[in-house]
Amino acid sequence: MRRDELVELGRDTWRRVAGSVRHTPGLLLISFMLAVALWVFVTDTENPTIVDTFPQPIQVEAVNVRDSLGVANVLPTVNVRVSAPTDQWDDLTAANFRAEVNLSGLEARAQEVPVLVEIEGVRGARVVETDPRTITVNLEDVVSKTVSVNTKAVGSLPIGYELGNITPEASTVEVTGPESLVELVAEAAADVNVTGLTVTVGQTVSLKPLGAGGSEIRGVRIEPVTMPVNVEVNQSTIQRTVPLTVDVTGTPAPGFRVSSVSVSPPTVQVQGPLEAVQFVDAVALAPVNVNGARSDIVRSVAIPLLEGLNFVSTERATVTVTIEAAEGSLRTTVAPVPINLSDTLRATFEPPGVAVELRGPLPVLNALAPGDVVAEVDLAGLAVGTYTLPVHIRAPEGIEAPSVQPESVTVTISPR
C-alpha cells in the first residue's frame, strides 16, 4: 500500500472515530492509540530501523574513582549492538558512544563491574546489548615514590661538535598511581633532541615513566610531567675547503705539449683542530710525469693526509693531463699540377714552382711525404693558348696553407 493511500485511510478513520466519539467518549483513547500506531507504521516503512553491531569496539572508562584508589589494570573495549533508523546509522561514530564503569563505593580489590554504554548526539539510536556486559576492574591503593630523572640524546650533532652534559633542572620526580604499577617504575626518562645543535641551549622535555627493561609503564602519573634541561655543546674541530694542486714533470714527445691539467674534485674538505686547519691553504698531490707522452694521461691518486687532519669528503682524486700536438709551420716549393686537361693537350707553367707556407700540428708536418701537398691548376674547358690562372693547394687533413707565392701562374697550353 502506498503512503498516500495510507494517509487517506488514516484521515477517513479519524473522521469515523471523531463522529463516534460524540456518542461514545471512551473511543477517544482508542482513536489516539490507533493514530500513534499508524504513524509508527508509516515511519518504519519509510525509514526502517537497523539493528546491528557497531563496527568499532568502544573503549571503557572508569568514573567516580576515589582519590585514594587507582585502576591497576588496562580496561578493555566492548562491542555494542545498536538499534538506529537507517538515516541515522551512517552518522554514528565512536565519538557518539560513552562506555563507563561506575566505581563509586568500591574497595581496593579485583571485581566484576557492569558496563554502562550510552549514545549521545544521534536521534533515535539506542543500545540493544553490550558484549561483555561486565569487565574486571582491579582497584588498588594509590601510592607515590620518588624516581631519578634520566636523559637520552636523540639525533646527531654536525661534524666538528661534541655533546657535553645534559643536565635536568631536578634530579628526581614523584610518580603516583596504583601500588603494583608504581612498583614497576624504575626511572623518569626524557628524550632530548640534539639534531643540528652547535651551541649550548636549554630545552623543555616531556618525562615518561619507564620500567627496568625500558618499557613505558602506563596508568601512573609523573609530577612534574615536563622539565627544563640544559644541553651542553662543544666545538671540537672545524672544517675547511681547500684546493687540490698538482705539478707536472717531464717533457712530452717531440711535437707535443701539455695543454691543460685538471683535478677532480678540485677541492677537498679537511677537518681538525683550529690550530691545525687555519694554516692549510691547499693540499698538493703527487706530481705526474709526462715524459715522452703523446696522448692524455689520467691518474687516480691518493690525497696525502696532513698531520692532525681528517678528510670529510673524499680520500682520492683524479688528475687529467691533456696532451696535444704542438702547432708549427714550414715552407716548401711545389710544382703546379694541371687538372681537367684534355688528353690531346699539354701544359707548361711559369714559374715552374710555387712557394707554399704550411701550418698545422708539428707531428703531422714532420711526417709529410712528397706528393702529400699538391698545387693544382684547373684547366677545365680551356683550348690551346696562354692563360693566367690561380693555384689551389690540396693538403692532408689538419694542415692549412695560409700563403702561396705566387698565387697565380702563367699556363701555356699546346697540342701534344
**What pTM was estimated for this model as a whole?**
0.46
| pLDDT tens for each residue of 326-376 | 888 889 899 999 999 988 889 999 999 999 999 988 888 888 888 889 999
| Cis, peptide link before residue 168, omega less than 30° from 0 | no
| pLDDT tens for each residue of 134-156 | 999 999 899 999 999 999 999 99
| pLDDT tens for each residue of 69-79 | 998 888 999 99
**Which has the higher per-residue pLDDT, 398 or 57?**
57
pLDDT at 158: 84
Q: How confident is the model at residue 36 (pLDDT cuts 50, 70, 90)?
A: very low
| pLDDT tens for each residue of 322-334 | 998 888 888 989 9
Q: How confident is the model at residue 42 (pLDDT cuts 50, 70, 90)?
A: very low
Residue 255: pLDDT above 90?
Answer: no
pLDDT at 56: 93
Stretch 276-295: mean pLDDT, rounded?
A: 88
Question: From CA 242, how far away is CA 282, in angstroms rounded?
Answer: 5
3-state secondary structure 350-411: ECCCEEEEEEEEHHHHHCCCCCCCEEEEECCCCCCEEEEEECEEECCCCCEEEEEECCEEEE
Q: Is the dihedral of CA 368, 370, 372, 373 positive or negative?
A: positive
Q: If you average pLDDT over every residue of the chain, what do you get? A: 86
> For residue 4, is it left (φ>0), alpha (ψ between -120 and 50) or beta?
alpha
28 SS3 class: helix
Q: How confident is the model at residue 20 (pLDDT cuts 50, 70, 90)?
A: low
| Among 266, 359, 278, 375, residue whose Cα is nearest residue 314 | 266
pLDDT at 305: 79
pLDDT at 184: 92
Residue 27: pLDDT above 60?
Answer: no
117 SS3 class: strand
Residue type at 175?
A: V
pLDDT at 43: 46
pLDDT at 182: 92
Residue 251: pLDDT above 70?
Answer: yes
Q: How confident is the model at residue 276 (pLDDT cuts 50, 70, 90)?
A: confident
pLDDT at 115: 94
Please name the residues in contact with 148: beta carbons below 8 A apart, sequence gap of 6 or more.
171, 172, 187, 188
Q: What are the helix (H) ranges across 233-293?
A: 274-277
Radius of gyration of the CA atoms of the chain, in A? 52
Find out whether 54 and 117 touch, Cβ atoms under 8 Å: no
Lowest mean pLDDT among 110-114, 156-160, 240-244: 156-160
C-alpha cell read off for 251: 717533457
Instruction: Annotate 135-147 with DSSP letters as a single string.
Output: EEEEEEEEEEEEE
pLDDT at 35: 47
Residue 304: pLDDT above 90?
Answer: no
Residue 277: pLDDT above 90?
Answer: no
Residue type at 310?
A: N
Stretch 62-74: mean pLDDT, rounded?
A: 89
CATH 2.170.120.30 is held by the domain 51-132: yes
Q: How confident is the model at residue 38 (pLDDT cuts 50, 70, 90)?
A: very low
% the chain with pLDDT above 70: 88
pLDDT at 22: 57
pLDDT at 185: 93
| Cis, peptide link before residue 351, omega less than 30° from 0 | yes
| Cis, peptide link before residue 406, omega less than 30° from 0 | yes
Q: How confident is the model at residue 21 (pLDDT cuts 50, 70, 90)?
A: low
- Give me the architecture of the 328-415 domain, per CATH: Beta Complex (2.170)
| Cis, peptide link before residue 265, omega less than 30° from 0 | yes
Q: How confident is the model at residue 4 (pLDDT cuts 50, 70, 90)?
A: low
Domains 145-235 and 328-415 share a fold: yes
Residue 49: pLDDT above 70?
Answer: yes
Strand partners, 325: 256
Torsion angle of alpha carbons 172, 178, 184, 189, nearest 10°?
-40
CATH 3.40.50.300 is held by the domain 145-235: no
Domain assignments of the chain as residue spans, ordered by start: 3-46, 51-132, 145-235, 238-325, 328-415
What is the Cα 85 distance to its own chain's centre? 48
pLDDT at 41: 45
Give the H/E segment covering residue 17.
Answer: helix 3-23
**CATH code for residues 238-325:** 2.170.120.40
Strand partners, 151: 190
CB atoms near residue 70 (< 10 Å): 25
